[in-house]
Amino acid sequence: MILDFLMMPIHGDKVVEEIRKFNKELYILLLTGHKDLAPPLETIKRLDIQGYCEKSDKFDQIILLVESGLKSVSQMRVIKEINEKLEAAYVELKNAYRGTMESLRLAVDAKDSYTKNHSDRVSYYSVMLAKKLGLSDEEIEIIRDGALFHDIGKIGIPDAILQKTSKLTDEEYDDIKNHPTIGAHILNPATIFNKIIPIVKHHHERFDGRGYPGSLSGENIPLHARIVAIADSFDAMTSDRSYRPRFTLFKALEEIDRCKGAQFDPELATLFIETVKENKETIEKDLEITLLARTDD
């Protein structure tokens, strides 16, 4: 679009200002025949006016500027098409990786009936706490995905250990403790999972520094991992295990409260307890449905 700066009843810069409200990409060339009344440079930058020229008897400069503008528009279109293709390819690649990881995640759940749907519930509780914290949509998505894949490393743990009903030996427990590191190694080659790797690797750290694999403590533990750690423990306590029946919601929350400052971030634990109480009926109903589903399997 080519506009004159001094127009009636509205000046060119005001026209551009209105255009920019609904079109940020239109290439605009602004002309003026009054050098002393030219728009300020700040206005030209603010309105993203790509070309500016003073009119004169010599039209060569204007013609060159118009030709340059046409070439720029053509290049912008090519760049936009390339970006759209790259974005489509990225989405396709991301979906392919997600599909692969989802298959691995389901394989982990299939290895042990007691952990069936565990990752889905941990993801649900983690998102619930993240929303209570007022985290951004981007962070909530990271936490959702990280919670879904937090136990992916168990694919590398022998079935005999995962399904053992008696007490684990020290060596077997050491094998179990390797699953966060194994999970991080599985996800590491795919850069699209970089943001969830800290969750996968550190969801078994303890606030007092006695967790694994890094013995991190306090706020040195990534926030997202601290959130998933609480959700993971809550689901473990409210799920049936071969060696004990599930805890009631009250008893599970009582245990989380007892472990504040030791196993869990105290502030996050307090917020989690509040959030579960606020959603008590929904959570209890969902747990009953899950238990019935397991009975039918």
Contact 31, 3 (CB under 8 A): yes
User: Scanning the structure block, which residue is given the tokens 């040195």?
Assistant: 220
- In the residue annotation, 154 being an active-site residue is answered as yes
Q: E strands along the chain, which residues?
A: 2-4, 29-32, 51-54
Q: Tell me the C-alpha to C-alpha distance, in Å, between residue 191 and each of 89, 91, 136, 188.
A: 15, 13, 21, 7
Q: Choose among 146, 144, 159, 156: nearest CA to 113.
A: 159
d(CA 81, CA 85): 6
* From 14, 21, 71, 154, the catalytic residue: 154
Cβ atoms < 10 Å from Cβ of 243: 10
Contact 141, 192 (CB under 8 A): no
Q: Choose among 62, 60, 1, 6: nearest CA to 38.
A: 6
Q: Which two tokens stand for residue 46?
A: 């603010």
Q: Give the distance from CA 182 to its chain's centroid.
A: 21
Coil, strand, or helix at residue 214? coil
Q: Which two tokens stand for residue 161?
A: 């250990």
Cβ neighbours for 178, distance < 8 A, ≥ 6 positions apart: 153, 156, 157, 213
d(CA 156, CA 24): 51
Give the catalytic positions in this structure: 154
